[in-house]
Amino acid sequence: MEKVVKNVIRYVPLQRKIGLAILATFVVITVVFGIVLVFLQRLHIQDSTRRSEQYLKMLVEREAEPLANELFEKRLRAVELRIRGILGLEGILSVTVYDAHGSSLAHLDRAGKEVPEESQKVLPNVTTSKTEQTVWGDIPALLYQAPILAMGVPLGSIRIGYSMAAVERERRIFYVATGGLLAITFVLMLVVLNKALAVTVSRPITALKDAMQRIEVEGPGEIISAGHRDEIGDLIAAFNRMSGQLRAMFDTVQREVSERKEAEETARRLRNYLANIINSMPSVLVGVDKRCCVTQWNAAAEGATGISAEEAEGQPLEWLLPMLGDLAEGVRQAMLARTVKTDAKVPRNVDGETRYNDITIYPLMGDEVEGAVIRVDDVTERVRIEEMMVQSEKMLSIGGLAAGMAHEINN
């Protein structure tokens, strides 16, 4: 049950939570106040009852001696006249006089009439005064009964019904007035506190929430006017500082992102430029890492081998260029020695034809980069031209020698 209440309260708006807190506080105050009021009202009723008892006691003490004489002399008419006089006093509801045996001798109610039922009642012998709270018709009443003595001898008793309607009326008026006062107090407190809390708490927090939502949509930088010099004002000031810091961080991040995009674009253009240069070269260019696996494969290499750059990347060098012999071992030696290694006129058989390549291995010299670049140039035509030139030179030498010999012979 407690978890259910907590979950329900968690999704209740702040102003309603405050209203519920005010209501709960008021209920607690009302309960405590009601308990105190009931206790005080009970004390008041007890005090009123005690004063009524004292009044009835004084009344009986005043009428006891005349009644004793009239009972002793059995003057019932005088007794009736006397109780009629008592009945005329304010608050007296009924008066009944009993003889020593508890039989009713005379009874009159507020209307001044005898009541047959009362005259038929027989009460036990009364030796001391006593008080009893009862209801007379629909009127709360106090019954006071006391003995009538003559020289210490009981001659009878008297019972007086006294109205407590005034006390009951005061009690009801008190409860109604108190309830009305509490209701008015609650309404005023609810209105005033809700207004005050709306101005001091709810509205600033709502403004904070709206500002955060705008930040979510439009980005940081939202500033809220404080207007408070309390904890809410401190919260707003902290929010403004945080918003400013977020704005600065956001601008910095945007600037860095923009710079990074520009750098990436520059790097992309540079890569494309270098790729165009590399792919435009007629020589086969192959880049390898320290394990002699291909990292770069230009267009000339694709044309010479029929293997695309995507297929060649990451593959061992000896798998891709087996026709060049133990090229991988030469690459490893060049990387280990960190010197350029050149092999000129390396022959290879292509479809029954001998072709020649110049192979140059350039080890990468960077501290954080290990690998090498291999350049392969097809120099078959150059070798053939060189051979033809050598052959021509030989023929020229032979021709010159023959001409000299012919001249000598002619001479």
Q: How far apart are CA 261 and CA 267, in angstroms?
A: 10
Q: Do the Cβ atoms of 270 and 260 come closer than 8 Å? A: no
pLDDT given for residue 122 in this prediction: 57
pLDDT given for residue 406 in this prediction: 72
User: Do 20-163 and 281-378 have matching folds?
Assistant: yes
pLDDT given for residue 289 in this prediction: 86
pLDDT given for residue 121 in this prediction: 57
Listed as ranges, residues in the chain with pLDDT below 70 are 1-15, 111-125, 217-232, 325, 350, 366-367, 404, 407, 411
| 20-163 placed in CATH 3.30.450.20 | yes
pLDDT given for residue 226 in this prediction: 61
Q: What is the DSSP string of 339-391?
A: S-EEEEEEEEEETTEEEEEEEEEEE---SS--EEEEEEEE-HHHHHHHHHHHH
Element (H, E) at 135: strand 130-136
The CATH number given to 281-378 is 3.30.450.20
Where are the domains positioned within the chain? 20-163, 191-280, 281-378
Encoded amino acid at 245, one letter: Q
pLDDT given for residue 7 in this prediction: 56
